[in-house]
Chain A
Amino acid sequence: KAGVTQTPRYLIKTRGQQVTLSCSPISGHRSVSWYQQTPGQGLQFLFEYFSETQRNKGNFPGRFSGRQFSNSRSEMNVSTLELGDSALYLCASSSFGRLNSPLHFGNGTRLTVT
């Protein structure tokens, strides 16, 4: 089974621009969650989608948004980029029975904002 795939692997953007990151979950997994990882703050939860619906949201400003498509692929968008948005963005998928199955992570997208 193919793992979680995130694209692109690396991105360099300038302040004020917007960016879209993509995540393809493991086949059959319907839950996709997104995390921001920075050295000081660790892994911080952004949001989770299940069957195209946002199931939960972390404490991030409205510049961070996401969506999920009918094939469970997910995208997250960050508008009006700030320097502090530089981070590793990880997505993770899990099967419907998330309570008993772990999250499977992709390799992440490294975003650098200059």
Chain B
Amino acid sequence: EDKVVQSPLSLVVHEGDTVTLNCSYEVTNFRSLLWYKQEKKAPTFLFMLTSSGIEKKSGRLSSILDKKELSSILNITATQTGDSAIYLCAPFKGNRDDKIIFGKGTRLHILP
């Protein structure tokens, strides 16, 4: 059965710190991995990673996929209180008919 595990489940840091969030997956027919940020209601899209070893960057956020290790990391540098959110990852499979499953998320809280 397909599996997605995110770690840590919860993290509290101070503003300015750098954090690394992990996502491990075991899915058949893997195609790409997506990261989302959920602040209050709607998860918002951050990154889609398809190729191993190629870092995607958006401001202070960056992410990279390791297909050999079946994992991905999401880095946030110089954290701000606005980064407080739940971060979700989801592996996409290669078939449109396959359901998309999400990890349970990492709840990140940034202290001022």
A104-B104 contact given A98-B96, A99-B92, CB 8 Å threshold: no
Contact with A along B69-106 (1 / 0, CB 8 A): 00000000000000000001010101011111111110
Contact A90 B43 (CB under 8 A): yes
* Interface locus among A41-49, A62-70, A77-85: A41-49
Q: Which residues of B contact A57 (CB under 8 A)?
A: 99
Contact A102 B34 (CB under 8 A): yes
Within 8 A of B (CB), among A36-61: 41-43, 45, 48, 50, 55-58
**Closest approach, in angstroms, between the C-beta of A23 and any C-beta of chain B?**
12
Contact B105 A33 (CB under 8 A): no
Give the distance in Å from the alpha carbon of A23 to the alpha carbon of B105 in the complex: 24
Contact B100 A33 (CB under 8 A): yes
Contact B99 A58 (CB under 8 A): yes
Give the distance in Å from the alpha carbon of A30 to the alpha carbon of B85 in the complex: 29
Q: Which of B48, B90, B97 contacts A55 (CB 8 A)?
A: B97
Give the distance in Å from the alpha carbon of A88 to the alpha carbon of B48 in the complex: 24
Q: Which residues of B contact A98 (CB under 8 A)?
A: 92, 96
A41-B104 contact given A90-B43, A99-B92, A108-B42, CB 8 Å threshold: yes
Contact A106 B99 (CB under 8 A): no
Q: Chain B: residues with CB nearer than 8 A to chain A?
A: 31-32, 34, 36, 41-45, 48, 88, 90, 92, 94, 96-105
Q: Chain A: residues with CB nearer than 8 A to chain B?
A: 3-4, 33, 35, 41-43, 45, 48, 50, 55-58, 88, 90, 98-100, 102-108
Knowing that A3-B42, A55-B96, A107-B41 are A-B contacts, what are 15 other residue pairs whose CB atoms are under 8 Å apart, sorted by A's residue number? A35-B102, A42-B103, A43-B88, A43-B105, A45-B99, A98-B96, A99-B94, A100-B32, A100-B48, A102-B34, A103-B34, A105-B36, A105-B42, A105-B43, A106-B42
